[in-house]
Amino acid sequence: MQKRRLGTSGIEVSVVGVGCNNFGRRIHDVAGARAVVDRAIDLGVTLFDTADAYGNGTSESFLGESIGSRRHEVVIATKFGWGSPSGASRRTVMRTVEQSLKRLRTDYIDLYQVHFPDPNTPIEETLRALDELVQAGKVRQIGCSNFSGAQVTAALDTSKRLKLAAFVTCQDEYSLLVRGIEKKNVPVMREHGLTLLPYAPLAGGFLSGKYLRNKPLPRNARLAYSSHHASDVINARNWNLSDRLREFAARKGHDMLDIAFGWLLARPFTASVIAGAMTAEQVDQNVRAGEVSLTADEVAELDRITE
């Protein structure tokens, strides 16, 4: 599988990654997680993204146990700082990293990301703590998630001024249906050489092709059981866009998954598409979609449809 670098770092990752937020939530046992992880590694997937908040740590535990002796074959990205009023304070960072290392059954994390900005902690304090972890060899690179463009800029300026480890990635929601980061975040990433790890690339599964207008929602699908995500995605605007995207895909000989992944990977700032999977078969589908290369004209048409 094709690989791309995480920002200006030396870490390369597969262009399709596995989002592990289902582990411990919709996948309730290690065997189910291991089936996904093993198939992914066998197919050349190297990036596995999780967080200490997913399943209250169960996701990390399932991932660590599933990877086992194959640790040298993968890049582990995890996140911290969601759900705590001081989630990015030095005290929290130092405590949570040890907990994550233990659950992941490893002595280092490849990419350690601030899950959400912490309004109660100066970014300098967070970066000094993360720099300590990098210097100690417990973390290789650092990144941020859900930061505004101005917050990313402030963090990068602080790292440069104090000669601290700097963010190399941003993890933000980005898809054919959600393009809000293009105005302010993407210019910052491109100026400073950061790369994007887009989450929710299928808009909660809405772009998978299995959701049909005026039809019952697919059983066990994310938008069928999560009213929070459904309220964000299922609306008249997105149904209309979905119809137009479905027509485009049929006309070009692609399926919906192809164009969702292909459009993201046509962005030079995208490092890897983080896609969840419930089964080994879904891993197969995601990997196949990641191999689709859209033409410049196809990308331009998709831009116009969803602008």
Catalytic residue positions, numbered: 54
Class of residue 115 by CB neighbours under 10 A (exposed 0-12, middle 13-18, buried 19+): buried
Class of residue 149 by CB neighbours under 10 A (exposed 0-12, middle 13-18, buried 19+): middle
In the DSSP assignment, the letter for residue 216 is P
In angstroms, the CA 173 to CA 163 distance is: 29
Paired strand residues for 269? none
In angstroms, the CA 97 to CA 112 distance is: 9
Count Cβ neighbours within 10 Å for each residue of 39-77 and write b for 16 or more, e otherwise: bbbebebbbbbbbbbbbebbbbbbbbbbbeeeeeebbbb
Q: How crowded is residue 23: how many other Cβ atoms within 10 Å of its Cβ?
A: 30
